[in-house]
A and B are shown apart, each in its own frame.
Chain A
């Protein structure tokens, strides 16, 4: 792809006329305050041509704020940003972009209803004459730009119809068309599947080898260690350390991010031959859903067991979990629990039978963002009480907040003001208070920092130890391998294989991606 990348759209600098290692952007003593809060405190980092620079830190450590300062989204309160040694006072994203700094944010800035071609050229006037779009030109340019990121899609498709990873590539292609010299990627892999992460990693390497400076943030330690040349750790807005990636391991990184050694993780082990774990608490057979994404899935989970669900995106994990809980309409299938047999249940029936679901998307399905922590936590009603009582409610909420380690959070704060990890704990509490017999969790740690992840794991393990059955669907295999007693792999809407603890990532992936045998 490198050789045919010579087009008018590809910036000359990407093709390597900047010497590798040359200083491109230097941030000096950047500070940023939000009211009384110091988001960045005297941070100095430099970015060099050809270098892949990872910025790591927990949520709220200031990574995104730092990126936003570099990309002109925010104006630093102190310090300066030098591009090619010239101090810049970015006033806008547009200006930063003109000077060669471009960002791909976590939230993609594509317009779902417009075509791929229009999105790629969005914000550029290249394909218009006097403000009137020239379609043939637009399409030609878009195809070239997409070629460069090795994306082969019909450019007349609406972006909405692309997969998440394709959308991301479209966004990257768009940003590259601005001829950046420093490319900032904020959590580029957060919503990608393993296979797509590989594609992205290759693309980033390719870009860097051509002389582009790349900086990215990620919560996945493995890919940071694999990809980065240089690692900068931020904690509480303070620059802790910048180090060459060689010789660094996960423990080093995490201890600097968290500021303390994390308790060593002991995977719990249950023995399925143990009598108390033999009873199955949930048996799902032959589920088909109306949306056609689950095609005859069956699974079984035992008392006190944590069952993982792996599979590529589109394999039907979310759809299966949501159909068991009755959110996604079922065509057929049987759900057996101890005293209940459900067929195409509603969420209320599923709850009555002892099921709970922590959905994959907090903002869309998990929480009512405009309501308070307390109201969200107590939304799962118990009993037939009509009148609310402030005292009774806060007593219960207090108990759960303390149990889940939310002790620095106010009950009456809007849930939208909490960090992702805190929000997820509130949603967990909302289910745990009902003491479900089987708790279904879909991507429970997506977008959550390392420390909160570890806490959520130990909460789930404690629940399982008390006899709750738990099903966790996740795109992060290491998470499943660490947490789960067994892992069910889904492919094309069915559970194709179930692995016992001890399976390797490779074994599971090979089952997840292999062509369906008839």
Chain B
């Protein structure tokens, strides 16, 4: 059974013939966050028309700065959702890491503090992952428990008070810039790019999609499902660890254990709005990134208009979530029709 030049041509031709369908395939993914992309662009255009300075460096950096913490939490959560689970504990993990890191900074300096932030995030993530993968516990429940418990732990450590650091390093890092770009925005970009590369260009990334898409098939294909799961939660924890460093800076070198209360829901909404399906196996960090930045753009814009009440942001988020689900639904119907057509044409050739 040797492969002939002719046969290779035939398959390549089939691939080309299908490439409209393949483009379809991509299109099918794009509209999932297209909804949020469209309203994001629209919002930016409207705010720009209203405030000529809306796209100025300082304003953009300020939006990105306030979005940065949720952005990083969202990156981690996206990964866990793709793998078929969810990490609801991201915000408490970040708070716990910030508390531990802050305490260490007070005693041993900034370098040790930052390392502790990252390590605590990573360790918490690994614990979540092990509970979920090894003991086969439900990810939603494990991380919901973590959400409550880690914040409790953080408050216990600080005895329900706020820790104010003497160093100003965190704050100045948070607002530092290289040329027109803030350090924070470059950090966000770097995390986004690295995660996208991992997901799309490595076998590990493909394994994450496979585990989320069908964990039985993944296991039967020799994918180390447990290891992939633990790794995904570890990465989510590490992202929360990075976010905790920013959190200290954002709060002007202080740590308030209740600072992120409720953020996990904003982040979860952004993950879904960004086109990562709750059932796993699809989506990606780019949509989440857009959705988070969108939330904070609205926030900023409404602020500028003079609406400071956060309920507008809540209402808009809710409406958009429904909108995104509707678009998803419409896409699914179109896609189904296409699949039927495709499978019939395939088998009738």
| B337: Cβ under 8 A from any A Cβ | yes
| B52: Cβ under 8 A from any A Cβ | no
A327 to nearest B CB, angstroms?
Answer: 6
A37 to B349, CA, bound (A): 10
A368 to B206, CA, bound (A): 11
A402 to B8, CA, bound (A): 7
Q: Are B18 and A412 in contact (CB under 8 A)?
A: yes
| B340: Cβ under 8 A from any A Cβ | yes
Stretch of A261-269, A298-306, A379-387 on the interface side = A379-387
| B202: Cβ under 8 A from any A Cβ | yes
Closest B residue to A322 by CB, please name it.
Answer: B220
| Contacts known (A34-B340, A371-B209); A347 close to B220, Cβ less than 8 A | yes
Q: Are B347 and A60 in contact (CB under 8 A)?
A: yes
B184 to nearest A CB, angstroms?
Answer: 29
A130 to nearest B CB, angstroms?
Answer: 34
Contacts of B337 in A (CB 8 A): 34-35
Q: Are A348 and B222 in contact (CB under 8 A)?
A: yes
A34 to B338, CA, bound (A): 8
Label chain B's interface by main secondary structure.
Answer: helix
Partner of B218 from A379, A385, A406 at Cβ < 8 Å: A379
| B25: Cβ under 8 A from any A Cβ | yes
Contacts of B344 in A (CB 8 A): 34, 37, 39, 60, 65
Q: Are A410 and B345 in contact (CB under 8 A)?
A: no
Closest A residue to B4 by CB, please name it.
Answer: A402
| B39: Cβ under 8 A from any A Cβ | no
Stretch of A45-53, A270-278, A417-425, A510-518 on the interface side = A417-425
Q: Mark B8-52, 1 if CB is under 8 A from A, else 0.
A: 101110110111011001000000000000000000000000000
| B323: Cβ under 8 A from any A Cβ | no
| A329: Cβ under 8 A from any B Cβ | no
Q: Are B343 and A371 in contact (CB under 8 A)?
A: no
Q: Are A414 and B213 in contact (CB under 8 A)?
A: no
Stretch of A17-25, A357-365, A469-477, A492-500 on the interface side = A357-365
| B193: Cβ under 8 A from any A Cβ | no
Label chain A's interface by main secondary structure.
Answer: loop
Q: Are B220 and A388 in contact (CB under 8 A)?
A: no
Q: Are A417 and B342 in contact (CB under 8 A)?
A: yes
Closest A residue to B22 by CB, please name it.
Answer: A412
Contacts of B224 in A (CB 8 A): 348
| A369: Cβ under 8 A from any B Cβ | yes
A357 to B345, CA, bound (A): 30
> Number of B residues contacting the other chain (C-beta, 8 Å)?
49
Q: Are B281 and A368 in contact (CB under 8 A)?
A: yes
Find residues 153-182 in chain B having any chain A CB closer than 8 Å to their own CB. Answer: none
| A58: Cβ under 8 A from any B Cβ | yes
Q: Are B345 and A407 in contact (CB under 8 A)?
A: no
A60 to B347, CA, bound (A): 5
Contacts of A401 in B (CB 8 A): 11
Q: Are A386 and B210 in contact (CB under 8 A)?
A: no
Q: Are B346 and A60 in contact (CB under 8 A)?
A: yes
Contacts of B342 in A (CB 8 A): 413, 417
| A462: Cβ under 8 A from any B Cβ | yes
Q: Are A414 and B25 in contact (CB under 8 A)?
A: yes
| Contacts known (A327-B220, A379-B218, A386-B203); A37 close to B11, Cβ less than 8 A | no
Q: Are A387 and B201 in contact (CB under 8 A)?
A: yes
A455 to nearest B CB, angstroms?
Answer: 12
Contacts of A385 in B (CB 8 A): 203
Closest A residue to B219 by CB, please name it.
Answer: A347
Q: Are A58 and B347 in contact (CB under 8 A)?
A: yes
| A59: Cβ under 8 A from any B Cβ | yes
Contacts of A412 in B (CB 8 A): 15, 18-19, 22, 25
Contacts of A381 in B (CB 8 A): 203, 221-223
Q: Are A327 and B347 in contact (CB under 8 A)?
A: no
| B341: Cβ under 8 A from any A Cβ | yes
Contacts of A402 in B (CB 8 A): 3-4, 7-8, 11
| Contacts known (A410-B17, A418-B343); A379 close to B7, Cβ less than 8 A | no
A13 to B234, CA, bound (A): 66
A462 to nearest B CB, angstroms?
Answer: 7
A391 to nearest B CB, angstroms?
Answer: 13
| B217: Cβ under 8 A from any A Cβ | yes
Q: Are A430 and B202 in contact (CB under 8 A)?
A: no
Q: Are B1 and A462 in contact (CB under 8 A)?
A: yes
| B329: Cβ under 8 A from any A Cβ | no
Partner of A388 from B19, B201, B340 at Cβ < 8 Å: B201
Q: Are A413 and B201 in contact (CB under 8 A)?
A: no
Q: Are A367 and B17 in contact (CB under 8 A)?
A: no
A413 to nearest B CB, angstroms?
Answer: 5
Q: Are B348 and A368 in contact (CB under 8 A)?
A: no
Find residues 202-235 in chain B having any chain A CB closer than 8 Å to their own CB. Answer: 202-204, 206, 209-210, 213-214, 216-224
Partner of A407 from B1, B11, B338 at Cβ < 8 Å: B11
Counting chain A CB atoms within 10 Å of each CB, which of B22, B341, B344 scores highest?
B344
| Contacts known (A403-B3, A410-B14, A410-B15); A370 close to B282, Cβ less than 8 A | yes
| A409: Cβ under 8 A from any B Cβ | yes
Partner of B347 from A59, A347, A364 at Cβ < 8 Å: A59
Contacts of A379 in B (CB 8 A): 206, 210, 217-218, 221, 223
A385 to B282, CA, bound (A): 23
| Contacts known (A34-B337, A386-B202, A412-B18); A398 close to B346, Cβ less than 8 A | no
Q: Are A367 and B25 in contact (CB under 8 A)?
A: no
| A325: Cβ under 8 A from any B Cβ | yes
| A351: Cβ under 8 A from any B Cβ | yes
| A5: Cβ under 8 A from any B Cβ | no
Closest A residue to B281 by CB, please name it.
Answer: A370
Q: Are B221 and A380 in contact (CB under 8 A)?
A: yes
Q: Are A371 and B15 in contact (CB under 8 A)?
A: no
| A399: Cβ under 8 A from any B Cβ | yes
A368 to B223, CA, bound (A): 12
Find residues 292-349 in chain B having any chain A CB closer than 8 Å to their own CB. Answer: 337-349
B315 to nearest A CB, angstroms?
Answer: 33
| Contacts known (A60-B348, A386-B203, A410-B18); A35 close to B341, Cβ less than 8 A | yes
Q: Are B213 and A370 in contact (CB under 8 A)?
A: yes
Partner of B219 from A237, A327, A414, A421 at Cβ < 8 Å: A327
| Contacts known (A351-B222, A381-B203); A417 close to B343, Cβ less than 8 A | yes
Partner of B346 from A364, A371, A418 at Cβ < 8 Å: A418
A325 to B219, CA, bound (A): 11
Q: Mark A187-198, 1 if CB is under 8 A from B, else 0.
A: 000000000000
A419 to B202, CA, bound (A): 29
A58 to B8, CA, bound (A): 26
Contacts of A409 in B (CB 8 A): 11, 14, 346
| Contacts known (A368-B214, A409-B14, A411-B15); A419 close to B343, Cβ less than 8 A | yes
A365 to B223, CA, bound (A): 13
Contacts of B347 in A (CB 8 A): 58-60, 419, 421-422
3 interchain residue pairs of minimum CB distance? A60-B347, A410-B18, A419-B347
6 A-B residue pairs with CB within 8 Å: A60-B348, A370-B213, A371-B210, A379-B221, A412-B18, A419-B343
Known: A34-B341, A407-B10. 13 other contacts (CB 8 A): A58-B347, A60-B347, A60-B348, A359-B220, A365-B216, A368-B217, A375-B206, A380-B222, A381-B221, A401-B11, A407-B7, A417-B343, A419-B346
Which residues of A pack against B, CB within 8 Å? Answer: 34-37, 39, 58-61, 65, 236-237, 325, 327, 347-348, 351, 357, 359, 364-371, 375, 379-381, 385-388, 398-399, 401-403, 406-414, 416-419, 421-422, 430, 462
Which residues of B pack against A, CB within 8 Å? Answer: 1, 3-4, 7-8, 10-12, 14-15, 17-19, 21-22, 25, 201-204, 206, 209-210, 213-214, 216-224, 281-282, 337-349
